[in-house]
Amino acid sequence: MPFRRAIAAVGVVATVLAVSTPGSGLALGSAFAVQGGGGPTAAACGSAWAVVSSPNGKSVNILLGVSGDSTKDVWAVGETGVGAAKTLTEHWNGTKRAKVPSPSVSGTHSALLGVAAVNPKDAWAVGHVLAANHDDAVLILHWDGLHWKIFPAPNLHSPFAFLLAVAAVSKTDVWAVGTRENPKTHLNQPLVLHFTGGTSWARVKVPTTSTSTSLSGISASGPNNVWAVGSASGTFAEHFNGTWKIVKPLSKTTADTLKSVVALGTSGAFAVGTTGAALAPKTLAETFSGHWKIVPTVSPGSLSGLNGIASVGGFNVWAVGFTSPGDQTSRTLAEHGNATQFVLRATQNPSPSDSLQAVTAVGTSPHQLWAVGQQASGQVTKTLIERACV
């Protein structure tokens, strides 16, 4: 599939039917209050998902990525505006969330889709810029503790390139993935960039397939356990343990895709996405521990998908996404799982059509889970942030 048409698959769709917590050993506790307004101090974190208010402008505001290195340093990124959208970055300092100025490329649609927090003075955000002539280029921003600045990207020799996710092992070992269109074949190819310090990123050539192939998620638990996932006529994954190699996941259909992954231990991984036809997807989860295994998930509604995953300790994971009854609306979705099964967990839906795009876990005892996305009511689309302590 040519790259410009593949952009739609990156998309924003999403939300979940508000569901009661089913009986299971994967238990949750009581709820806490939903917040309103624009950036006040949040209520104490409780064991059920609750909305944390976030600043919004008057136009469309969407959050697509989230990452934190502590409970006092959590970044969320996305886009704001209609047409020539601009980058959007928001920061949680342990007490409240605030919008932080971030640069965009003049005259383009600039959007951020992934973020990696290294420490309070070091973070990376990646995405793309869409020019008026419809050429697409990667966008890389760096946080130095005071400002977000555009960081040089390597020449990718392609009119269409896109970064969807970024993961940091350390301040001198950062990976970003996405898609690059081959200008000769017009097929998508996996795009992997690596930062090892200094003033530039480098493109890393990785194995690919003979079909259109893209990467949408990346995670690292150490310098030699880096996983990237996506799609290539079905699910697709690559693993780095000193060299990159394809470790083909399981697929039920050629439409299956993995959207997010969390690296575990020295070689393991847990990935989530969708399975089935594009117009009627269902949730999909796979775990790797020597080999890939599909883990049963819940798919409420007529279509459902999982967009993000985070671990709170080994194979104890949380995944977020969307579900829809098929009426052009969506509801937020959260599932708690392990290597055996996933169960539904109740989430908040403050607007008629809501979705969650990404999740991260920070802190210990309890872990704070942060999930971000969007909420829509009519022509108004605002950011959505939900938090739980588990």
Q: Identify any residues that bridge with 143 across adjacent strands, giving them in sequence order.
A: 123, 148
pTM: 0.90
Q: Is pLDDT at 24 greater than 50 in this prediction? A: no
Cβ proximity of 229 and 215 under 8 Å: yes
Cβ neighbors of 100 (< 8 A, separation 6 or more) are 89, 90, 91, 148
Question: What three-state secondary structure class fits 5?
Answer: helix
Task: Tell me what percent of the chain is helix, strand and coil, each rounded to the nearest 5.
Answer: 0, 50, 45
Query: 203-226 pLDDT, tens per residue?
Result: 999 999 999 999 999 999 999 999
Percent of the chain with pLDDT over 90: 81
Query: 279-314 pLDDT, tens per residue?
Result: 899 999 999 999 999 999 999 999 999 999 999 999
Enclosing H/E stretch for 10 = helix 3-10
Cβ proximity of 42 and 72 under 8 Å: no
In this prediction, residue 42 has a pLDDT band, given cuts at 50, 70 and 90, of: low
Cβ proximity of 358 and 308 under 8 Å: yes
Query: 100-143 pLDDT, tens per residue?
Result: 999 999 888 999 999 999 999 999 999 999 987 878 999 999 99
List of domains in the chain: 3-389 (2.130.10.10)
In this prediction, residue 9 has a pLDDT band, given cuts at 50, 70 and 90, of: very low
Query: 141-185 pLDDT, tens per residue?
Result: 999 999 999 999 999 999 999 999 999 999 999 999 999 999 999
Residue 268 token pair: 């393991």
Cβ proximity of 126 and 173 under 8 Å: no
pLDDT at 326: 85
Residue 12 token pair: 């924003």
